[in-house]
Amino acid sequence: MFGESAGAASIGHHLTISEHHGQFQQAILQSGAVNTMPAGRAQIEGQRYFNHPCNHFGLMDSALSGAQRLEVLRKIPAKELVKARDRGKVGMFTPTIENVLIHGDSREWIHNPSRYDPELKSIMLGDCREEGQTFVTTLVARKMKQWSEFFQRNCPSGLEAEFEAVYGIPATDKEVARISSEVVRDYVFLYPIHATSRALLARSGVAPVEMNRFHFDRPLKALEKMGLEFLGAHHAAELPFVFGSGSALKMMTDEEQRLSHQMTEHWILFAWDETSRRFGLSQGMDSLLPSDIGIGGQKQEVIVFTENCTVEKGLVERLDSRRLAIWRATEHWVKEKRAKQYQVFNQSSNL
């Protein structure tokens, strides 16, 4: 099985839910893992989605109860509700902690080797170079006036100086957009992929999993003609190359078409259990099977689909030890905040 973005997060949940073990031997996770979209509680996360249209239509300032607001929303035309959804930031939809398959906060699952399917034989995980760029208009800060809120939402208390030393202090709107898109790339995509890799390589009592990692760095040349070259190798940029459909190939240069063929071959070989070693050797590489990625991942054991449309070896991780430490701390911090919110909700519900 393979999936991209939310699809990769879904696969991550499948691999860590014991009731689903034994169904898959190979898995490809593109631009995501469990904690790219960690499961939330409907009572808390769902409230934000309800409040958003209520705010848009002025219902939050009224004396209406929640049930009465719901009745008003049900009478509003669907087109108007869609317009309301597209205005302002709400966040991403996530799986739900429903106490059937998902019993708790999955932010800790990702680090537990014993949670992963023991019958998983091989896995491929990868990212695009500018993962955060396409989320500039939705998930990140774009202007200086938005930076303080974004900073406080992503930086735990006590780590402010380290956070600023690693990512910088913006002085212009352009710098705010660049830094915040980098933060989203690291926290939402690169860090969960790293955590998944480490946990799988730390499994004991089962056959070692073959680990295949990749980075995708090639922006479509056609973006320049569209005036979208600023997107770079953006989130989902690898999909046209992986699928190599007729319409996608028509947009590609000759070099891009050759790269697409190589990627399609790699994905197909992987699906047929001819995984990274065979592909790597055919590309003149010694090995693509890291035995220990370690903190910082300073091993040349990852496939890089380069900006020059070549296939090279590169460093496994693009996050250094300082960034990894920040996001591990942030993960704990967010988990604790969510637990406190749920505790307050339960207490108020029992009054």
Range 228-253 average pLDDT: 94
Last residue of a domain, one of 23, 58, 93: 93
Contact yes or no for 9/37 (Cβ under 8 A):
yes
Give 294-311 pLDDT, tens digit per residue. Answer: 444 456 678 899 999 998
Give 97-114 pLDDT, tens digit per residue. Answer: 888 888 888 888 889 999
Give 282-297 pLDDT, tens digit per residue. Answer: 665 544 434 344 444 4
pLDDT band at 279 (very low <50, low <70, confident <90, very high): low
Q: How far apart are CA 191 and CA 158, in angstroms?
A: 20
**How is residue 308 annotated by DSSP?**
T
Terminus-to-terminus CA distance in the chain, angstroms?
A: 46
- From the list 62, 65, 302, the residue with the least C-alpha distance to 190 is 302
Q: Which helix (H) or strand (E) holds 30?
A: strand 26-30
- Higher pLDDT: 337 or 189? It is 189
On whether both 68 and 201 belong to a single domain, the answer is no
Range 260-285 average pLDDT: 73
In which domain, by residue range, is 31 found? 2-40+95-349
Give the per-residue pLDDT at 287.
Answer: 41
Buried b (16+ CB within 10 A) or exposed e, 187-213: bbbbbbbbbbbbbbbebeeeeebbbbb
Q: Is the pLDDT of residue 61 over 60?
A: yes
pLDDT band at 140 (very low <50, low <70, confident <90, very high): confident
Last residue of a domain, one of 75, 93, 111: 93
Give the per-residue pLDDT at 277.
Answer: 55
Last residue of a domain, one of 77, 93, 109: 93
On whether both 54 and 184 belong to a single domain, the answer is no
Q: How far apart are CA 213 and CA 32, in angstroms?
A: 12
On whether both 189 and 251 belong to a single domain, the answer is yes
Domain count, the chain: 2
Give the per-residue pLDDT at 349.
Answer: 58
On whether both 308 and 214 belong to a single domain, the answer is yes
Q: Return the CATH number at 214.
A: 3.40.50.1820
Q: Provide the whole-model pTM.
A: 0.87
On whether both 83 and 21 belong to a single domain, the answer is no
Angle between helices 173-184 and 144-154 in degrees, nearest 10: 20
On whether both 83 and 102 belong to a single domain, the answer is no
On whether both 293 and 328 belong to a single domain, the answer is yes
Q: Is the pLDDT of residue 342 over 70?
A: yes
On whether both 246 and 310 belong to a single domain, the answer is yes
On whether both 179 and 316 belong to a single domain, the answer is yes
On whether both 128 and 178 belong to a single domain, the answer is yes
**How is residue 111 annotated by DSSP?**
G
On whether both 108 and 58 belong to a single domain, the answer is no
On whether both 195 and 143 belong to a single domain, the answer is yes
